[in-house]
Amino acid sequence: MLTIPAHILDDMVAHAREVKPYECCGLLAGTAGVVTQQYRITNRVAHEPQAEQLFEHMSAKNLNALSERQRAEVAYFMDTREQARAQRDWQQKELDLLVVYHSHPASPPYPSDTDIKLAQAPLAFYPDLTFLIISLLGPVPDIKAHRIVKDHSYPVEFKTV
């Protein structure tokens, strides 16, 4: 079972609230299913040509048809330099990447069709991980974890300590 410390969960919710109405994104690392490290990553979907290419290649979402604001409200693309720094850090600390997280500012905490397509894409950075989604749709954040296998998502239980 995945275990996430309360202070990390609280910081992910704070991250989601700070960037709302845009989607936040980040990574969680640890060992043996226990998260010990959080990496906030900048969502570059509105400004990254590579995002347009990936989304178009996967037929995930037509980013060209959306304004910069709309892109960041419905999709995320992690800053590649920040990802590389995070990877060096978790490897140096001998941790495993456990979770990719992002927020849904105005929708439920379930993987969208776009989330599922990108998780399964041959170019996806993290195809075999748990995906945690923070929904800010209601007055209280709703957080769900999922595994995405082929074109389906499956709930993953996690506990907070």
Handedness of CA 78, 81, 86, 92 (dihedral sign): positive
Check whether the bond before 21 is cis (ω within 30° of 0): yes
On the question of pLDDT at 102 being above 50, the answer is yes
Whether the model clears a pTM of 0.75, i.e. scores above it, the answer is yes
pLDDT value of position 128: 65
Please give the share of the chain, as a percent, with pLDDT higher than 70.
76
Q: What domains lie within the chain, and their CATH numbers?
A: 2-43+78-160 (3.40.140.10)
Q: What is the mean pLDDT of the chain?
A: 83
Identify the residue with better confidence: 124 or 83: 83
SS3 state at 54? helix
The two three-digit tokens of residue 82, written as one number: 């920040």
Residues 81-93: tens digit of each pLDDT: 999 999 999 999 9
Cα(143)–Cα(154) distance, integer angstroms:
14
